[in-house]
C-alpha cells in the first residue's frame, strides 16, 4: 500500500538510509515530528532487554517524545556497558542533527544479538543528515526496519481530518510479553496523555499481545505511538476503533509473512470463565508445534487441539465433557467424524487461513489469537540466521 498525501499524518519528516549495518538494504530510520508529541510505549519484559528498550522506556516516562530512531540488522543486546554507550551515542548524534533533546527521542534496534554496532559506520552515515530530512515515505520506513521480513508491513486509517499510520516488522522470535517485535504508530490527532495510554495499551493487548509465531519473546520488543495534535481532536471512540483496525491489519500481515509460514492460524476460544483463561487456552493451541505441523500438512488430526487444551492443567474449571471443538463450521469434538467429515476437515486445513473455534461452555468470556503453521522453512531460515 502506498500512502497518499491525504492519508499521511501532518508534521512528520524522515531520514532513511543504509549505514552498512549488515548488508546493502536500508537499516536506519529516523522519523521526527515538527512539534513535541504525546507518546506512549510498551516494551519486552525479557530479562535480557537491550539498551534500546531500557533507554526508551525511561524516555517515555513523561508521556512525551518527538522522534523515533530505528536500527535494523543489529539488536545491540548483551553487549554490556559498550552497548549502552553506543545506544546513547546514537541518540546524541540524532539530537545534534535534529535539535531534539536526546530524552525526547525513542530508540529501537532489531537483529542479531550479542554483536556491537559498527559505530564508526554509524557516525559517518549520520553526519549532516539533519539537512536531508524529507516528508515521510512510510513505505520506505517500513522497509528500513525489516530484518528477515519479506515484505514491508504498513496500514493506515483516516478519522475525519485525522490521519493514522502504523508500521511493523517481525516474522520470528514472536511470542509477545508486552507488545511484540517493533511496531510504531504516528498520528496528527490531538489526544490527552492518559487517554492515549489507555487506548494504546488496550489495543496492543487485544492485537499484538494475541500474536505468536514461535513462542520466543524478543529481547527488543517495542511498540510506540506518537500523536502530534496538528489535525486537532477526534472522538476517542472513533480513534480507538481506527487504531484497533490498523493494529489488527498489521498483526495479520506479520502472521502471513512469518518465517517459513504458509498459512495463518486464527484461534477463538469462547464461553470461558474470563478473558485471561480464554486467551491462555487459545495461545496453548496456536503455539503447539503439533497443531502447527498438522495444519501445515493439512492432516485432519484434530485431536492435537484437544491435547493442547488439556495442557492448561491449572485451569481446573475446564471440563472436557463440556468442550466443543470446531474447524470453521465443522464440529470435530465431541462428534464422531465420518470419512466425509475428515475429508472436509482436510480441505479446511488446506486453506490459506485456518480458523479453530473452541467453546469451553463454562462462562461468557472470549479471546482470539493469531499465529501460523510450522514448516521446514522456519528451520532453514533460523538455522543460518547469523551466518
Contact 136, 8 (CB under 8 A): yes
Helix, strand, or coil (residue 32) = strand
- The residue written with cell numbers 487517554 in the block is 195
| 57/29 Cα distance (integer angstroms) | 19
Could you confirm whether 180 is annotated as catalytic? Answer: yes
Residue 268: Cβ-neighbour burial (10 angstroms; 0-12, 13-18, 19+): middle
Q: For the chain, first and last CA: distance in Å?
A: 32
Query: Which of the residues 8, 180, 217, 368 is marked catalytic?
Result: 180
- Give the phi and the psi of residue 273 in degrees, each rounded to 5: -65, -45
Of 1, 28, 20, the residue nearest 146 (C-alpha)? 28
Name 134's bridge partners: 14
| 91/117 Cα distance (integer angstroms) | 13
* Nine cell digits for residue 12: 512528520
Helix, strand, or coil (residue 126) = helix
CA 58 to chain centroid: 21
**Which residues carry a binding-site annotation?**
147, 169, 180, 259, 382, 387
* Nine cell digits for residue 337: 467424524
- The residue written with cell numbers 509477545 in the block is 176
**Which residues carry a binding-site annotation for substrate?**
147, 169, 180, 259, 382, 387
For 49, residues 6+ apart whose C-beta sits below 8 A from its C-beta are 43, 77, 219, 220
Quote the DSSP letter at residue 13. E
* Nine cell digits for residue 36: 513535541
- In terms of DSSP H, where are the helices of the chain? 51-59, 80-98, 119-126, 138-144, 193-206, 236-257, 275-286, 289-296, 303-310, 339-349, 376-382
How large is the C-alpha radius of gyration of the chain?
A: 22
Catalytic residue ranges:
180
Amino acid at each position: 500500500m502506498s500512502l497518499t498525501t491525504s492519508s499521511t499524518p501532518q508534521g512528520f519528516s524522515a531520514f532513511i538510509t543504509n549505514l552498512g549495518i549488515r548488508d546493502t538494504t536500508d537499516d536506519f530510520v529516523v522519523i521526527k515530528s515538527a512539534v513535541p508529541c504525546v507518546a506512549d510505549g510498551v516494551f519486552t519484559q525479557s530479562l535480557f532487554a537491550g539498551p534500546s528498550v531500557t533507554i526508551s522506556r525511561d524516555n517515555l516516562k513523561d508521556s512525551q517524545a518527538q522522534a523515533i530512531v530505528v536500527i535494523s540488522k543489529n539488536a545491540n543486546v548483551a553487549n554490556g556497558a559498550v552497548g549502552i554507550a553506543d545506544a546513547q551515542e546514537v541518540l546524541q548524534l540524532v539530537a545534534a542533527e535534529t535539535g531534539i533533546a536526546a530524552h525526547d527521542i525513542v530508540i529501537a534496534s532489531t537483529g542479531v544479538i550479542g554483536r556491537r554496532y559498527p559505530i564508526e559506520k554509524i557516525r559517518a552515515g549520520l553526519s549532516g543528515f539533519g539537512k536531508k530530512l524529507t516528508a515521510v515515505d512510510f513505505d520506505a520506513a517500513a522497509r528500513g526496519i525489516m530484518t528477515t521480513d519479506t515484505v514491508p508491513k504498513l496500514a493506515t486509517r483516516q478519522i475525519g481530518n485525522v490521519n493514522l499510520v502504523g508500521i511493523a516488522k517481525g516474522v520470528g522470535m514472536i511470542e509477545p510479553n508486552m507488545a511484540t517485535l517493533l511496531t510504531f504508530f504516528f498520528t496528527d490527532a490531538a489526544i490527552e496523555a492518559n487517554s492515549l495510554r489507555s487506548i494504546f495499551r488496550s489495543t496492543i493487548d487485544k492485537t499484538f499481545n494475541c500474536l505468536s509465531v514461535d513462542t520466543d519473546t524478543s529481547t527488543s520488543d517495542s511498540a510506540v505511538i506518537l500523536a502530534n495534535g496538528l489535525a486537532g481532536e477526534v472522538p476517542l471512540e472513533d480513534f480507538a476503533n481506527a487504531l484497533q483496525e490498523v493494529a489488527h491489519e498489521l498483526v495479520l500481515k506479520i502472521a502471513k509473512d512469518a518465517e517459513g509460514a504458509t498459512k495463518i492460524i486464527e484461534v477463538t476460544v469462547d464461553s470461558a470463565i474470563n478473558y485471561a483463561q480464554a486467551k491462555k487456552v487459545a495461545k496453548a493451541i496456536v503455539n503447539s508445534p503439533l497443531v502447527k505441523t498438522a495444519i501445515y500438512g493439512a492432516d485432519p488430526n484434530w485431536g492435537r487441539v484437544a491435547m493442547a487444551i488439556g495442557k492448561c492443567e491449572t485451569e481446573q474449571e475446564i471440563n472436557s465433557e463440556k468442550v466443543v471443538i470446531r474447524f470453521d463450521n465443522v464440529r470435530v469434538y465431541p462428534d464422531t467424524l465420518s470419512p466425509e467429515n475428515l475429508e472436509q476437515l482436510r480441505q479446511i486445513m488446506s486453506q490459506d487461513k485456518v480458523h479453530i473455534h473452541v467453546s469451553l461452555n463454562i462462562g461468557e468470556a472470549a479471546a482470539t489469537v493469531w499465529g501460523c503453521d510450522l514448516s521446514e522453512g522456519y528451520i532453514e531460515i533460523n538455522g543460518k540466521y547469523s551466518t
